Amino acid sequence: MKKFLSLLFFLPIIVFAQERISLTGNVFDGVTFFPVDNANIYNFNTKQYVFSDKNGNFKVLAKVGDTLVVTKPAYKQVLVEIDEKMIKSKKFEVSLYYKAIILKEINVYAMPATYEDFKKEFLNTKLSGINKVFNVTMSEEEKMQNTPAGSLLDFIPGKVGQAIRSPITALYNAFSKKMKMERLYLEMVESEDEVKRLPLKYNRDIVSSITGLEGEELLNFMTFCRFSYYDLIRWSPEFILLQIQRKYGDYEFYKAMEDN
């Protein structure tokens, strides 16, 4: 009888523990700390989903053990397993990082759709007189071997195992958006390991340990830093620490100026 009464006593607690409660979450960019809106938060256990608002906030029904899948185009997918700490506080945060397709800023020039169209426009433009300076019009492949051999821009190094055969090809490859994107993509692929390490090289705990800032003030400072993904990926962990210290000096200076 005592065991039965004890079971009845704990039953409401067991039932309550199994119920899903409303949790408040916030999604933000792991580098800029700006809120991420329209992120999809999908509860893998209940098959229900919600979206973050313009401030990155959302509400979701969940319990301990539920798995949330947080996604947004261009960002890496994040899996969040709900634990007791989240249930007690009824809130949690999710930081998202861009995928390994991030490209540095580039200048985009209006270019003809095809290489053949580019050649025609180049040869018909008023600037095409530059060809006379080099005594070159087209490559051997481009104009049935009419280009004099040994011209100044002949055999400019291009890709590995290849050569650029004329100034036209050189200019096309230099300014073509497609070629720029290809080069930058290869550059990012080579840095893929650094992309994966980014959350370990730069995060809230690291910045807080250097500056001593916490909470809202820490968020304000990390927003002030405005480091770019491209720089953080290229920078070493040691250089990132130096940049954080430099930025913190600037931050303290601007705060002092505002107080005065």
Q: Report which secondary-structure segment, H or E, holds 231.
A: helix 229-234
pLDDT attached to residue 26: 96
What pTM was estimated for this model as a whole? Answer: 0.57
Per residue in 26-76, pLDDT tens? 999 999 889 999 999 999 999 999 999 999 999 999 999 999 999 999 898
pLDDT attached to residue 95: 92
Asked if residue 9 and residue 64 are part of one domain, the reply reads yes
- Which tokens is 230 given? 């491209």
Domain count of the chain? Answer: 3
Q: Are 201 and 240 in contact (CB under 8 A)?
A: yes
Report, as an integer, the average pLDDT of 136-162.
45
- Percentage of the chain lying above the pLDDT 90 cut: 39
Residue 148 pLDDT level (bands cut at 50, 70, 90): very low
Asked if residue 18 and residue 91 are part of one domain, the reply reads yes
Q: Are 12 and 202 in contact (CB under 8 A)?
A: no
pLDDT attached to residue 161: 42
Report, as an integer, the average pLDDT of 136-144.
50
Per residue in 208-253, pLDDT tens? 999 999 988 998 899 899 898 888 888 899 999 999 999 999 999 9
As a whole number of angstroms, the longest Cα–Cα distance in the chain is 107
Report, as an integer, the average pLDDT of 114-142.
55
For residue 149, pLDDT beyond 70: no
| Residue 108 domain flag | no
Q: Are 206 and 242 in contact (CB under 8 A)?
A: no
pLDDT attached to residue 258: 81
| Residue 110 domain flag | no
pLDDT attached to residue 257: 85
For residue 17, pLDDT beyond 60: no
| Residue 182 domain flag | no
Structural domain range at position 143:
115-175
In degrees, to the nearest 5, what angle opens at C-alpha 55 toward C-alphas 52 and 60?
Answer: 35
- Which tokens is 256 given? 């002092």
User: At a CB cut-off of 8 Å and minimum separation 6, what does 158 contact?
Assistant: 164, 169, 173
pLDDT attached to residue 123: 60
Q: Are 60 and 50 in contact (CB under 8 A)?
A: yes
| Residue 163 domain flag | yes
Q: Which of 28-42, 69-83, 164-178, 198-212 has the lowest mean pLDDT?
A: 164-178
Domain boundary among 30, 61, 96: 96
pLDDT attached to residue 61: 95
Amino acid at 115: Y
Domain boundary among 63, 96, 129: 96
Q: Report which secondary-structure segment, H or E, holds 239.
A: helix 237-259
The CATH number of the domain holding residue 70 is 2.60.40.1120
pLDDT attached to residue 229: 86
Question: Of the candidates 115, 109, 104, which has an alpha carbon nearest to the alpha carbon of residue 230?
Answer: 104
The four Cα atoms 108, 113, 115, 118 give a dihedral, to 10 degrees, of -70
DSSP letter (8 states) at residue 23:
E
Q: Are 50 and 67 in contact (CB under 8 A)?
A: no
- Specify the higher pLDDT residue, 147 or 85: 85
| Residue 17 domain flag | yes
Asked if residue 158 and residue 92 are part of one domain, the reply reads no
pLDDT attached to residue 65: 93
Distance separating alpha carbons of residues 84 and 104, to the nearest angstrom: 41
| Residue 183 domain flag | no
pLDDT attached to residue 64: 94
Domain boundary among 126, 148, 175: 175
Asked if residue 126 and residue 62 are part of one domain, the reply reads no
